[in-house]
Amino acid sequence: MVKLFETRHLTLKQQDNVVENSPESALVTANEVTDRLTNDYNNLVEQNLKRNFIVHVCHGLLGQTGFRLLNTPTFLPAYILLLSGSNMIVSVAEALKNLGMAITPLIGANFIAHRKKVLPTGFLIGGAMRLAVLGIALTGLFLPTGWILPGILFFLLAFGVFTGMQGVIFNMLMSKVIPTRLRGRLTGYRNFLAGITTAIVAYLAGKYFIGDNPQISGYSYTFLLSFVLTSVGLSFLFFIREPDALRVKVASSLRQQIKNIPAFIDADPGFRNYLFARSIATAGRMALPFYILLLSAQFGFTGEFLGKFSFAFLFIGTLSNLVWGRLADSYGFKVVMSGSLGLWIVAGLSITFAQNEWTLLAAYGFVGAAYQGFMQGGNNMTLEFGSSQDLPVKIALSNSASELVSLITVLAAGVYLTLGNSYESVIYFSVACHAVSLIYFCWFVPEPRYQKKPSSESIT
């Protein structure tokens, strides 16, 4: 089948020659060529679908387990607060990560928009991302005490830089090898398995690495474990079978790509409204590092406390992925985005009002469920707007806009808290952002799955 695909894969220039040599049947011939190439591409995807589905699940299981140890809003905020004693530095650390994720998605899109295969670039960027995690771990183990915090901030920025590029590259890879009808199920299974594993690992890391008297070395060993897991996960992608893209954009400079952004956004009003609604919702995400700091005032920063609340955030979030995935496959990702925002509003308010430990654990767990739904919905919904050749830029714009908003709001939250204001008021602002975004999603954002696609669109 691969040989058949390669022999039938005509370039656009060859298609133009067919049209020029047979003007009386140009339209029919061009459509026949396009249909044949599309059918060959879809057949190749279906032929390798089981293999690629399993590889994506295995990659996600180990990769997400490792990265969630770093990204779950418990260990890192607590570690930064231990090193600095400052809410503002906690905000700066989160902002540096968001800064990297905001400025590099377009670079990632520029790397792959003109390439028929994206996996080789994925290995390069994914490897660099994992080295940044290793740097965070080794900084705490080997640098003098006064250099640990600057070192971690540097590697967090590097982590954000490569994460921004990887988000574009690996979402594009998934869009090529996993049909739309299975993406919700894939992300649901992958997130479910990764979440279960991470919840257990996080609890054990909190109990045994960090313990009742948190030390720098305990956090360092936790993040070293993160590096090992993510590196093994990346190795699974050697088994992916990626087809050549049917269409790619002509290579252009990053400057030209940025110059074309306003026209690109205006050309798709549905995507523009989605971009706005997702960005507003992301503004509410700035409260994530501060939920655990609010709770610590009641329970204290012990390894057991961090382990239990990390477990709740990850375990309940994990179970929700199966629900989000099924909803997505049945009704589309707009339902997932709207449902996750509604749940986030309720869970966020519950944290500010609940009094006993079990209620707070449940509320924090439902924040995890809402976060999982929002991330799963946002990453996948972007893939369904427009044609496949525009996807790298749309993924980049969506990710950049979200992370830029997150950067600004998390810094603003840090300044606000430094002035003596409460964690509760930050959470109330977060709830307001989610409410505005939910209304906008319901009224102005279309479900892209049911919009008309170009006739040459590849896999469904």
Residue type, 201: V
CB 376 within 8 A of CB 195: no
Residue type, 279: S
Helix axes 357-382, 145-177, angle to 10 degrees: 50
Please list the pLDDT of the chain residue by residue as tens digits (460 residues): 333 333 334 444 444 444 444 454 544 565 676 677 778 788 888 898 999 999 988 888 888 888 888 887 778 888 998 899 888 898 899 888 888 888 888 888 877 777 788 888 889 999 999 999 999 999 999 999 889 999 999 999 999 999 988 888 888 888 888 887 788 788 778 878 887 888 888 888 888 888 778 889 999 999 999 999 999 999 998 999 888 877 666 666 667 777 777 877 788 888 899 999 999 999 998 888 888 888 887 777 777 788 888 888 888 888 888 888 888 888 888 999 999 999 999 999 999 988 788 899 999 999 999 998 998 888 788 878 866 667 778 888 888 888 889 889 988 988 898 888 899 999 999 999 999 999 999 999 988 877 655 444 444 5
Residue with tokens 């714009």: 397
Q: Report the pLDDT value the prediction gives residue 393, as an integer from 0 to 100.
A: 80
Helix axes 75-84, 49-71, angle to 10 degrees: 30
Distances (CA, A) of 106 to 78, 184, 379, 382, 405: 32, 25, 16, 15, 16
Q: Report the pLDDT value the prediction gives residue 116, as an integer from 0 to 100.
A: 84
Alpha-carbon distance 364 to 295, whole Å?
10
Model-wide pTM > 0.95: no
Domains of the chain: 48-450 (1.20.1250.20)
Residues ≥6 apart with Cβ < 8 Å to 460:
179, 180, 181
Alpha-carbon distance 314 to 429, whole Å?
24
Q: Is 145 exposed, middle or buried (0-12, 13-18, 19+ CB in 10 A)?
A: exposed
CB 123 within 8 A of CB 237: yes
Q: Report the pLDDT value the prediction gives residue 227, as an integer from 0 to 100.
A: 94
Q: Report the pLDDT value the prediction gives residue 344, as an integer from 0 to 100.
A: 96
Let me know how long the chain is: 460
Q: Report the pLDDT value the prediction gives residue 137, as an integer from 0 to 100.
A: 94
User: For 95-121, what is each residue's pLDDT tens digit?
Assistant: 888 888 888 888 888 777 777 888 888
Q: Report the pLDDT value the prediction gives residue 268, as an integer from 0 to 100.
A: 83
Alpha-carbon distance 210 to 229, whole Å?
19
Q: Report the pLDDT value the prediction gives residue 166, as an integer from 0 to 100.
A: 87
Q: Report the pLDDT value the prediction gives residue 118, as an integer from 0 to 100.
A: 87
Residues ≥6 apart with Cβ < 8 Å to 241:
48, 51, 52, 177
Q: Report the pLDDT value the prediction gives residue 19, as an integer from 0 to 100.
A: 43
Distances (CA, A) of 169 to 174, 383, 392: 9, 12, 8
Residues ≥6 apart with Cβ < 8 Å to 32:
none
Q: Report the pLDDT value the prediction gives residue 336, as an integer from 0 to 100.
A: 93
CB 386 within 8 A of CB 268: yes
